[in-house]
Amino acid sequence: MAVLLTAQSLSKTFGTKTLFEGIAISLHDRERLALIGPNGSGKSTLLKILADQQTADAGGVTVRKGVRTAYVPQKDTFDDDATVHSAIADALKAAMKSGTLAHMHDDHEAELAADLVLDRAGFVDFQQPASSLSGGQRKRLAIAREIAKEPDVLLLDEPTNHLDLEGIEWLEGVLRAGPFASIVVTHDREFLETVATRIAELSRQYPQGLFAVAGDYSEFLRRKQEFLDGQARQEQALANQVREDLRWLGRGAQARRTKSKSRIDASYERMDELAELRDRNATAKATSIDWEATGRMTQKLVVARAISKSLGGKPLFTDLDLVLSPGHKLGLLGPNGSGKSTLIKVLIGEIPADPPSEAALRDAAEAVNLPPGLPAPGTIKRAERLRTVIFSQHRTEIEPGITLAEALSPHADAVIYRGATLHINTWARKFLFTTQQLKQPVRALSGGEQARIHIARLMLEPADVLILDEPTNDLDIPSLEVLEESLEEFPGALILVTHDRAMLARLSTHLIALDGEGGARHFADYTQWERAHEAARAKPAKKSVPSAENAPSAAAATQASPAPAAPAKKKLSYKEQKELTEIEPEIHRTETLASDLEKQMNDPDVIADFRKFEEVSRAFASAQAKVASLFERWQELDARQ
């Protein structure tokens, strides 16, 4: 496949902190590259450099001639007076004037293309002000705006942060069906599993600062573990050599005078290599999270009976029954604006439920042998002195101008956690903050670091009910996994609102799905909901799809499902037919090479030789990538026979 973009020897430093150095990365035609890494590793900065939004301190980026790139940052920006339609149309007109959309000839064509893009992106009111959109709708509009420019390379920074599940599925469909290559910075593990064709992790764990694997997330984890295991064995072998060097160097002064200078230099080089290797192999730190429960043994913490709520005349949920007990982990699902946050506010008593419906009152009047203590229809019964802790997705409780130390401990230089007094320095280190950062303002910290501040504050409050509203935004994958482990062990009740499908599947013991039209369905677990969701999505797919034959090409990539009928297959040319006959033996040869290199990586002699091991590791990764590339090309050609 053709290389669209190549970066060589990229380095970037902010102040005294080096984010990365010597990074090399490339992107091929139609490839979907996912960029992951711990918070603070420089993923967003690297993406901005690739998008020509920032400059590197060293190295450079080469974009193939004629290749158009588009970039969607984490924070969406639109003109104050922009409508949904003008946001797309104005972007197309600007691209047309700059010559990047030369096939568009006038504003009318740009307007029509904007209509088509918005329709396929799921927008209904094209004249709705962009300022009135929800976070998820703004993100969808920002993505649609860049796709409308018909890029060859699409760069997206944390695009799933504010999208609901429907929006994430739409984005996945867009990336899989689009005629462009993409690089996506993301922590969404399900997204990595289903969309990525190659995954690269930016981390100091690796000798080149970056580790890339062709395949999905499961394949990446397997290859990563193999590499780290080999690196650990390499450290052990090098440590044995260094011990011998030290023993040799430790002989008497007279013996040292007769020693070979080259051997002495080699010994010191091995010591430096060992120090670097130990630093890389040090276990990657993750935030320490441990929620404190009150220990209350009450069997029913919250009981809601036939509660309903409407806003602005729009029903959010109707006649909903709910019981929360210790150990229950309730997942809330639904599109943006369906009422998930409103339901939480009703349950904790922040806003009242609507009066009970006539149907609920009638059912209550006809019911017999009801359990004792059951609340009346339309009401909620909470355990006495119920303690609720809420992690808000908006995180507006902390002033951005205060220092990190003030945010972690507003009134003293120590905190009380589980009955023990901890100095602010100790408490900060628990969440991977350094002593130097304590004097920094909150606004200077990354999104992931600000999320850790909120977690640190909430951990100081014992809870009967823990409510987490989109807790995964900005957290890296190691922190997500630690968060999941802590929530699994939390003995109280949990209400979880998240679009992280992996987290919902792992934690939820019960699910409530709001449909945005007043309906609320109960599901035993995420798997049951997923089956119902797939069945519901399959029904509209039977409807006929209008022809897109005369549609402007600007929106071709925005389709997710259903897709327009595929054009007739174009027969293979003589050159392509020849390529097809040669590609299968080449796949076998490359697979054999990869297998041989893998064996070499486990050879004790290779492991003992630091430079040889790195050389073999790089060759193995290159062979793996070539196999994946060849196989994808074979599938493409074979399908056209």
Three-class SS of residue 21? Answer: strand
Instruction: Answer whether residue 71 is part of any domain.
Output: yes
List of residues 6+ apart from 354 with CB closer than 8 A: 307, 308, 309, 310, 378
Q: 314 and 446: one domain? A: no
Provide the domain count of the chain: 3
pLDDT computed for residue 548 by the predictor: 35
445: left (phi over 0), alpha (psi -120 to 50) or beta: beta
CA–CA gap between residue 483 and residue 290 (Å, rounded): 8
Domain that holds residue 428: 398-461
306: left (phi over 0), alpha (psi -120 to 50) or beta: left
The single-letter DSSP state of residue 375 is: P
DSSP assignment of 426-495: HHHHHTT--TGGGGSBGGGS-HHHHHHHHHHHHTTS-BSEEEEESTTTT--HHHHHHHHHHHHH--SEEE
Degrees to nearest 5, angle at CA 119 with 115 and 124:
100
Q: 18 and 62: one domain? A: yes
CA–CA gap between residue 475 and residue 487 (Å, rounded): 15
Place of tokens 């929006």: 167
Query: How buried is 240 (Cβ within 10 angstroms: 0-12 exposed, 13-18 middle, 19+ buried)?
Result: exposed
Q: 38 and 183: one domain? A: yes
The single-letter DSSP state of residue 296 is: -
pLDDT computed for residue 550 by the predictor: 38
CA–CA gap between residue 466 and residue 347 (Å, rounded): 12
Query: Which tokens sit at 452?
Result: 């850790």
Query: Which tokens sit at 583?
Result: 């590609």
The residues of the chain scoring below 70 in pLDDT are 1, 252-259, 283-288, 291-292, 294-298, 368-372, 394-396, 539-576, 607-611, 613-614, 631-632, 635-636, 638-641
Instruction: Check which CATH number belongs to the domain holding 323 and give it.
Output: 3.40.50.300
CB 453 within 8 A of CB 431: yes
Query: Which tokens sit at 527?
Result: 């798997």
List of residues 6+ apart from 581 with CB closer than 8 A: none
- Name the nearest CA neighbour of 630 among 581, 590, 598, 573: 590
Instruction: Answer whether residue 120 is part of any domain.
Output: yes
Neighbours of 225 (CB within 10 A): 10
CA–CA gap between residue 285 and residue 279 (Å, rounded): 12
Q: 479 and 377: one domain? A: yes
Q: 130 and 12: one domain? A: yes
Three-class SS of residue 42? Answer: coil
CB 199 within 8 A of CB 34: yes
Instruction: Answer whether residue 240 is part of any domain.
Output: no
- Name the nearest CA neighbour of 490 among 465, 471, 512: 465
570: left (phi over 0), alpha (psi -120 to 50) or beta: beta
The single-letter DSSP state of residue 554 is: G
- Name the nearest CA neighbour of 466 among 502, 492, 497: 492
Q: 380 and 402: one domain? A: no
- Name the nearest CA neighbour of 17 among 39, 40, 36: 40
In the chain the first and final C-alpha atoms are separated, in Å, by: 19
Radius of gyration of the chain (CA): 28
Three-class SS of residue 584? Answer: helix
Question: At which of 173, 203, 233 does a domain end?
Answer: 203
Query: Which tokens sit at 616?
Result: 């073999």
Q: 308 and 409: one domain? A: no
Strand intervals (E) in 498-590: 510-514, 520-523
pLDDT computed for residue 368 by the predictor: 63
CA–CA gap between residue 623 and residue 596 (Å, rounded): 10
- Name the nearest CA neighbour of 380 among 321, 313, 297, 431: 321
Q: 338 and 430: one domain? A: no
Degrees to nearest 5, angle at CA 194 with 502 and 190:
15
Kind of pairing between the strands at 58-63 and 3-14: antiparallel
Instruction: Answer whether residue 145 is part of any domain.
Output: yes
Query: Which tokens sit at 529?
Result: 């909901």
Q: 413 and 470: one domain? A: no
Q: Give the strand order in the sheet containing 3-14.
A: 17-28, 3-14, 58-63
Question: At which of 461, 480, 495 does a domain end?
Answer: 461
Q: 440 and 469: one domain? A: no
The alpha carbon dihedral of 294, 298, 299, 304 has a sign of: negative
The alpha carbon of residue 13 and the mean position of all alpha carbons in its chain are separated, in whole angstroms, by 24
Q: Can you list the pairs that 617-620 forms with residues at least 24 positions away whose Cβ atoms lie under 8 Å?
A: 617/227, 617/230, 618/208, 620/594
Degrees to nearest 5, angle at CA 134 with 131 and 140:
95
Place of tokens 């026979």: 641
CA–CA gap between residue 414 and residue 631 (Å, rounded): 58
Instruction: Answer whether residue 306 is part of any domain.
Output: yes
Q: 437 and 473: one domain? A: no
Query: Which tokens sit at 558?
Result: 């925005």
Instruction: Answer whether residue 248 is part of any domain.
Output: no
Query: How buried is 30 (Cβ within 10 angstroms: 0-12 exposed, 13-18 middle, 19+ buried)?
Result: middle
Q: 379 and 403: one domain? A: no
CB 356 within 8 A of CB 377: yes
Burial track 155-174 (b if 16+ CB lie within 10 A, e otherwise):
bbbbbbbbbbbbbbbbbbbb
Instruction: Answer whether residue 501 is part of any domain.
Output: yes
pLDDT computed for residue 189 by the predictor: 92
The single-letter DSSP state of residue 293 is: B
CB 158 within 8 A of CB 537: no
pLDDT computed for residue 133 by the predictor: 87
Query: Which tokens sit at 341?
Result: 């946050």
Q: Which amino acid is at 65?
A: K
Instruction: Answer whether residue 636 is part of any domain.
Output: no
Phi, psi of 58, deg, nearest 5: -150, 160
DSSP H helices, 367-437, are: 404-408, 424-430
Question: At which of 182, 203, 224 does a domain end?
Answer: 203
CB 256 within 8 A of CB 453: no
pLDDT computed for residue 202 by the predictor: 93
pLDDT computed for residue 551 by the predictor: 37
pLDDT computed for residue 141 by the predictor: 96
